[in-house]
Amino acid sequence: MRATVDQAPVAISITDLKANILYVNAAFSEITGYAPQECIGRNESMLSDRRTPPEVYQELWGCITRQQPWRGRLLNRHRDGRRYLADLTVAPMLNDAGETTHFIGMHRDVTEEYLLQQQVRQQTLFLETVVASIPVSAVLIDENGRIVLDNLMYKALASDLKVEEPALLFLKLLREESGEAWSDFWHREKAFRNLELRFDPGGGRPSRWFSCAGQWFRHEEGSVDGFFSGSEKGYLLLTVDDITQQKKQQEQYRLRGLQALMAEEEKLESLKETLFAAIHQIQGPLNLIGAAKNILDRRGDDAGNVALRDLLQQVIAAGEASICTLEKCIPHTDNNAFKPVNLNQVLHDAITLLTERLLASGIVVEWVPTPVLPSLKGSENRLRSLFKQLIENAIDAMAHSRQRELRIHTWTRDQLIHITIEDTGPGIPAGLRTQVFEPFFTTKASLGRQHVGMGLAVAHEIVNQHNGLIRIDPDYDGGCRIHMQFEIRQTQPERPAKVSHG
């Protein structure tokens, strides 16, 4: 037993009841620097350093005098004068009568361990200080998508947006907006910056814009799993800068340009509508003439019929030539302009462009966009024209309504983007809900304005062009509700269908 204690790797000393040293092992001499003959007979206090608070010693003596072991840390002094941190356990030794006869002390030099812990703590504190001092919202996310650390600005952002963890929402948006590029950012740990996101909180609150940047780094894991093989973990430092004010200024300039662009596009649409109407007006009589010629052809080669048939054929040829000339004059949509489009933004544009008319008509607008809406690949200008046309139809429909409310909602479900535009007008009779999407059909004659009935036909064309569906909700009886849906994961958009004029 004595040999075992002598060779133990931990410093062991045995003292009398006044802490005078009676025995030390080899490890004690190695750790303290005192040879056995230098310390036996002396008090354990020879190792004490005045930097250890007296309260620690009071607690130690209180425990061992009650025959209870004590475990703690003391700042000791080595024989050469340097200080070291001792992890100490002191226990009473009892005789057969249960009386304390000696004390046994065991301690280890844990200075290096403590310094490493302090270094880790300082590094963590430094990182927290750096993150806290970043003048934008910052959050540290591990490779499993868990939030490890954030700063006060991030907490303020979460409170402002009324979202528990905005970072996870932004990551979802970034993944959807970046598409395949996100795989490089996340799985290959590539840095990114200046990725802009739009957030629509709804509830009458204005849209917000944020610029996101991300920087990856790897840190050695501190768990026991990596004790033998080593283990590193990836972390993403995500910073989110609120650029709403800059965007508002840009938005003012953009809307001015947009108004000019929409005015030009409306002229083109008006020209297209006029040309389609002219073709329609020519095609109708031309079809009757063609039918008359077919009747004469079946009657035979009567001399009078031959001259009349020749004349009718000339009229048909002239009419078809006129239609061909008019068709060549119809402006065509450029399909090369398809790009990712945020439908919340486009709908907001349409509402903003019609604000004056909505106010003048006394219409209350309920705009409820979903905060996170994936992009749709399409023509921003055509989609804006679509929504503007539908909102204008709603304004016209409510011209004589006592209650004038316009409600616009967006949401996603089953890999589809859904949009509804509903008004409190008289609605569209069930028998006309399909017919209204046909060219040159209109229900607006009673409003005292001239309409040729191409609005919903063009709207139907634009929706089809974007691989979508548009219908009038048969279950809505408070006016008219237009329901549109578009695929989130789109293939190449279709070419615009030519509106029939036959």
Residue 1: which pLDDT band, with cuts at 50, 70 and 90? low
Distance separating alpha carbons of residues 454 and 441, to the nearest angstrom: 7
Helix (H) or strand (E) run with residue 266 in it:
helix 244-299
Distance separating alpha carbons of residues 196 and 214, to the nearest angstrom: 12
Distance separating alpha carbons of residues 148 and 60, to the nearest angstrom: 38
| Burial (CB count <10 Å: 0-12, 13-18, 19+), residue 19 | middle
**328 pLDDT more than 50:** yes
Identity (one letter) of the amino acid at 173? L
- Predicted local confidence at residue 171, as pLDDT: 86
Distance separating alpha carbons of residues 383 and 410, to the nearest angstrom: 14
Which residue matches tokens 């679509």? Answer: 386
Residue 500: which pLDDT band, with cuts at 50, 70 and 90? very low
pLDDT digits (tens, 9 = 90+) for 352-388: 889 889 999 999 999 999 887 888 889 888 898 899 9
- Predicted local confidence at residue 498, as pLDDT: 41
176 CB neighbour count, 10 Å cutoff: 17
Answer yes or no: are the C-beta atoms of 405 and 364 closer than 8 Å.
yes
Q: How far is CA 231 from CA 123, 124, 144, 189, 203, in A?
A: 18, 18, 15, 17, 47
Q: How far is CA 10 from CA 83, 143, 499, in A?
A: 18, 41, 93
pLDDT digits (tens, 9 = 90+) for 198-247: 888 777 778 888 999 988 888 766 555 655 555 677 888 899 999 998 88
Identity (one letter) of the amino acid at 392? E
Helices 380-397, 343-353: axis angle to 10 degrees equals 50
The pLDDT > 90 percentage for the chain reads 37
**502 pLDDT more than 60:** no
DSSP assigned state of 238: E
| Burial (CB count <10 Å: 0-12, 13-18, 19+), residue 290 | middle
Answer yes or no: are the C-beta atoms of 235 and 217 closer than 8 Å.
yes
Which residue matches tokens 């849906």? Answer: 485
- Predicted local confidence at residue 228, as pLDDT: 59
Q: pLDDT: is 186 or 340 the higher one? A: 340
- Predicted local confidence at residue 491, as pLDDT: 45
427-453 mean pLDDT: 67
* pTM of the predicted model over 0.75: no
Residue 496: which pLDDT band, with cuts at 50, 70 and 90? very low
251-270 mean pLDDT: 72
pLDDT digits (tens, 9 = 90+) for 461-481: 889 989 999 999 999 988 999
Average per-residue pLDDT for the chain: 83
**70 pLDDT more than 90:** yes
Span of 271-285, 363-377, 415-429, 466-480 with lowest mean pLDDT: 271-285
**448 pLDDT more than 60:** no
